[in-house]
Amino acid sequence: MKMEASIFFDSYLPHAMRQAVEYAGQDGFVASLPQLLNARINTPYENIIWNTHFNPNSEENLLTTPQGNRVVLTVHGGGIFGSPDRYEKLFRASTDRDSEYGFTGLFAAQITQQEAHDLLGGKTPDGASIPVYSFDEFKRGINDLPRRYAIVTDFDTAKKSECGYVSFDALRDDPMVI
């Protein structure tokens, strides 16, 4: 299979995402962070992929489970923000802190309880079903990892993640580099 890639830039993220999704079409995809990292590993340093900023189709969502546990749900390949329409809703939402779809005071995207509940169950807004792996299961290794998937990590484990510039050796054991 021949892989073809293109880079899309726009000062307004929903427009860039829309261009990328339209370019990908039904058979393509917008690259996730693991896919971009894999491309870098397999590309000479002179390639544009090494000196260009990308917004991968990956997201980290801080959620509370129905049991009341705080978790981080990392989604690769398209989750709540896997569509340009959801980005558009976020960017155009009221700036009031009580806005259901807008940004928080710390500029994090707000999501609804229904979006969180659905995603924890492996249901994405576009109607797809994706596997949701526990952090421990993912750390042990997954054979034949699909293009779209999620990892649920206990918030206390996620908080152990390093901040700032760290060595590659430290990243190997970082719980949020998944």
Tens-of-pLDDT digits for all 178 residues of the chain? 567 789 998 888 899 999 999 999 988 999 999 999 999 999 999 999 999 989 999 999 999 999 999 999 999 999 999 999 998 998 888 877 778 888 887 788 889 999 999 999 999 999 999 999 999 999 999 999 999 999 999 999 999 888 888 887 887 778 888 7
> Rounded CA gap, 122 and 132, in Å?
6
* pTM: predicted TM-score of the whole model, two decimal places: 0.90
Which helix (H) or strand (E) is 49 found in, with range?
none
Tokens representing residue 50 in the block: 């090494």
CB 154 within 8 A of CB 69: yes
Tokens representing residue 42 in the block: 């397999």
> Rounded CA gap, 13 and 118, in Å?
24
Tokens representing residue 150 in the block: 């999620």
